[in-house]
Amino acid sequence: MWACMYVYSDVHLGNCRTFISFDIIYRYLKYLGYKVRYVRNITDAGHLEGDRDEGDDKFSKKARLEALEPMEIVQKYTLGFHKVMELFNNLPPTIEPTATGHISEQIEMVKHILQNGYAYEVDGTVYFDVEKYDKEKPYGILTNRKLEDLLEGTRDLSGQDEKKGRLDFALWIKAKPEHLMQWPSPWGMGFPGWHIECSAMSEKYLGKKFDIHGGGMDLAATHHTNEIAQSEACYNVSPANYWIHTNMLTVNGARMSKSAGNGFLPQQLFTGDHPLLEKAYSPMTVRFFMLQTHYRSTLDFSNEALQAAEKGLKRLWEAYRNLGHLQQAPFPDTAAGSETDGRCHALIAGLDISMNDDFNTAKVLANIFELVPLINGLKGGQLPPDSISRSTFELLQRKLTIYLTDILGLKEDNGADSGQLDKVLQLLIQIRKEAKSRKDFATSDKIRHELQQQGIILKDEKDGSASWSIV
């Protein structure tokens, strides 16, 4: 599987959604027993401001603005990207190649496309001939659009009279003397076009044909369409069996964008440092929030939605802790009534069914939240222990652990290490219990009150123990 990242600026939430979605896919395929090679390339050269090869190279422009070397820009934003991925608990990819580390492979691919007659060179720049290619293979196959429709949506660009067709795109770009990043090639000093990078590197590490390729939906019409054309023109095969595209983000119903003033970066979500945010939200809350919507659907950010996700995640972890407290409960070998036991089995089976349905994490979480009152009912005594069998309980515990931690990639983050927090609270619960046994109710009540002031609720159980939850 293949995905790419551009490191000329801070990683934005659209990128994060794509990589969280791919992380889920990666985790789930590994859970199914597949050997997965996940390649996530770093685009660190050749990405111009316009999709049609106009404007400045984004890396060179950023380097000039910040008075840095281009590789300093790449290093800065690559490290920032990795940090955000770590905060979101994304697994690292199998391989993370860079465009600048594979210039020779890109040059060789351009040479092959030229030899096959689908490209032409003009004064050191090599262009892909879209109209010639389309006579043999449908250029717009990915988005199901005809060439004439695509041509209607384009405009003539100044300074590009050398191109045969308006849709032609650069495979190799002649560099001006002042250009900061350039390499020798058969066509003179230059740098690779944005699209050729992914085609060359994916072929090297995944072969001419691999299973999954994807990214944001904004990449489908140009970048991914051009990747398909390049691979077909070079190897006579489309690169991927499946194309996965994540949908756009909105804020309070309006499309998220910097120009509209409603765009915020992941770090701003984590700190709450943005006029549109009422508070800070943890990385796990944001990850959980994203998983509540299918990756192909529009995702709308709002304080109300994020706060609801925060409460839902706390409720989920509370139920998971309750499940752990039930380890010693007297579950029978056979459930007294089949209704609760059967319902539990059906909901558990629905987890894999939903993931097999285009990795539908929204349906997975819906099933898990249907299990929450069942778990809490067993813990609170509303449901008798013989409602489910011991084997059903063990299946529930095993599958919920797998899904929450291994597949969905969630972890408790209550502002401190959850394991350490639990240890501290268990100590306070024990001190409170000893105080009550001495009839020192003042100390007992003080512990409960002070914890409540901090948003931690203690609940005395029927068996004399106490549990805690965060509100």
**Span 251-407 CATH architecture:** Orthogonal Bundle (1.10)
Q: Which of 38, 33, 147 is nearest to 90 (CA)?
A: 38
> Does the pLDDT of residue 5 top 60, yes or no?
yes
| pTM of the model as a whole | 0.84
> How many Cβ atoms are within 10 Å of 345's Cβ, its own excluded?
17
- Where do the domains of the chain lie? 2-246, 251-407, 418-470
pLDDT, one tens digit per residue, over 318-330 is: 999 999 999 889 9
pLDDT, one tens digit per residue, over 103-160 is: 999 999 999 999 999 999 999 999 999 999 999 999 999 999 999 988 886 655 555 5
What's the sign of the alpha-carbon dihedral 173, 177, 183, 188?
Answer: positive
Name which residue leads in pLDDT, 405 or 273. Answer: 405
Pair type for strands 125-128 and 119-122: antiparallel
Cβ–Cβ < 8 Å for 56, 49: yes
Cβ–Cβ < 8 Å for 228, 221: no
- 2-246 CATH: 3.40.50.620
Question: What is residue 156's predicted lDDT score, i.e. its pLDDT?
Answer: 57
Residue 227, burial from CB neighbour count under 10 angstroms (0-12, 13-18, 19+): buried
- How many whole angstroms separate alpha carbon 234 and alpha carbon 384? 66
How would residue 65 be classed by pLDDT, with cut points 50, 70 and 90?
confident
> Does the pLDDT of residue 416 top 60, yes or no?
no
Question: What is residue 456's predicted lDDT score, i.e. its pLDDT?
Answer: 81
Domains 2-246 and 251-407 share a fold: no
Output Rg (C-alpha) for the chain, integer angstroms: 27
CA angle 428, 434, 439 (to 5 degrees): 125
Average pLDDT, the chain: 89
Cβ–Cβ < 8 Å for 210, 240: yes
Main-chain dihedrals φ then ψ at residue 28, nearest 5 degrees: -70, -40
pLDDT, one tens digit per residue, over 255-282 is: 887 667 778 889 999 988 888 899 899 9
Cβ–Cβ < 8 Å for 234, 109: yes
Query: Which tokens sit at 388?
Result: 């489910």
